[in-house]
Amino acid sequence: MSTATIQPDAYCVFGNPIAHSKSPAIHAAFAGQTGEAIVYERRLAPLDGFALAARGFAAEGGKGANVTVPFKLDACALATELTPRAKAAGAVNTLRFDGEEILGDNTDGAGLVADILRNAGVAIRGKRVLLLGAGGAARGVVLPLLQEQPQELFVANRTVATAAKLLEQFQQAGAGDIALRAGGFEQPEGVFDIVINATSASLAGDLPPVPATVFGSHTLALDMMYGAAPTVFMEFAAQQGAQVRDGLGMLVEQAAEAFFVWRGVRPATQDLLALLRGAL
């Protein structure tokens, strides 16, 4: 009596460049932990050929894909259905293929929130939150942050109009008792409980020009970037007495959320996060 071999479902991550991606290692660990039969690879898509590459992968039998820079807007356009958080973000980092249907989701904000709540052990409800930047990275996290019911969300950006426009859609949707504010980097006043750097300043070794007074001894300062050494933002915040955190936890948690979108199983993350931290 022969036993049929179960063919693993195929997933991938699209990007350009893509060789640096940690996603294959992360999802291989999740598969091993949960017993889900999947294979996962990196795929380099041409800058002008994302839709063709994604449709080609689906035609090969691919079940889903992660999407990284610079294709999150292309993935949003490709999707036939968007989750509420993907609509709010205006960008997609997770695709699920189901016949002709392509579900587009954005797990970045859920990953950030999970990292703050579970890994950092910091509550968001009733707190003052300062979000630095109003670009794609910031757009993806506003709705999940608001769903945690902070007291205030202040979006600070170099161009104030961009920050104001970002918050406008949430004001129209009704943010309840949450105070939504937009302003320049130098405008936030008083100490914030959570300060999130969603700008790309850390990539260039720069610092958003925020007042040192936004940080206090109880502040969690989180930079979405990560590396072997603390970012300039993290060093500045630590000098003011803040607890600092980089974006590695967010990376692992958004991957776990994508895995849940695909498989309906939520993997544990803490051991893997410690392993990746040690390998930086």
Supply the CATH number for residue 203's domain.
3.40.50.720
Q: What is the pLDDT of residues 79-100, one digit of tens each?
A: 999 999 999 999 999 999 999 9
Q: Residue 2 annotated as binding?
A: no
Calculate mean pLDDT across residues 127-133.
Answer: 98
Whether 119 and 79 map to the same domain: the answer is no
Cβ contacts of residue 43 below 8 Å, gap of 6+?
12, 13, 14, 18, 53, 57, 65
Single out the residue of 166, 223, 158 nearest to residue 187, CA to CA: 158
- Omega within 30 of 0 (cis) for the link into 230: no
Q: Residue 134 annotated as binding?
A: yes
What was the pLDDT predicted at 136?
A: 86
Q: What is the pLDDT of residues 25-70, one digit of tens each?
A: 999 999 999 999 999 999 999 999 999 999 999 999 999 999 998 9
Is residue 253 in a domain?
A: no
Whether 124 and 101 map to the same domain: the answer is no
Q: Residue 133 annotated as binding?
A: yes
Is residue 255 in a domain?
A: no
Tell me the C-alpha to C-alpha distance, in Å, between residue 203 and each of 233, 259, 278: 11, 28, 21
Is residue 241 in a domain?
A: yes
Whether 80 and 145 map to the same domain: the answer is no
Calculate mean pLDDT across residues 172-188.
Answer: 88
Would you say residue 4 has pLDDT above 80?
no
Please list the alpha-helical segments (H only) found in 60-198. 72-78, 84-89, 108-114, 136-147, 160-173
Assign 280 a pLDDT band (cuts: 50, 70, 90): confident
CATH of the domain at 27: 3.40.50.10860
What was the pLDDT predicted at 163?
A: 97
Q: Residue 227 annotated as binding?
A: no
* CA atoms of 251 and 237, how far apart (whole Å): 21
Provide the edge-to-edge strand list for the sheet that holds 128-132.
Answer: 179-183, 152-156, 128-132, 194-197, 220-223, 243-245
Is residue 275 in a domain?
A: no
Q: Residue 202 annotated as binding?
A: no
Active site residues: 72
Q: Residue 200 annotated as binding?
A: no
Q: What is the mean pLDDT of the chain?
A: 95
The tokens for 278 are 């040690």
Whether 114 and 229 map to the same domain: the answer is yes
Number of domains in the chain: 2
Tell me the C-alpha to C-alpha distance, in Å, between residue 146 and each of 173, 180, 246, 265: 12, 10, 21, 25
Single out the residue of 107, 112, 115, 194 nearest to residue 155, CA to CA: 194
Q: In what helix (H) or strand (E) does residue 33 lie, and over which residues does it extend?
A: helix 23-34
For 228-249, the DSSP string reads SS--HHHHHHHHTT-EEE-SHH
Q: Residue 63 annotated as binding?
A: no
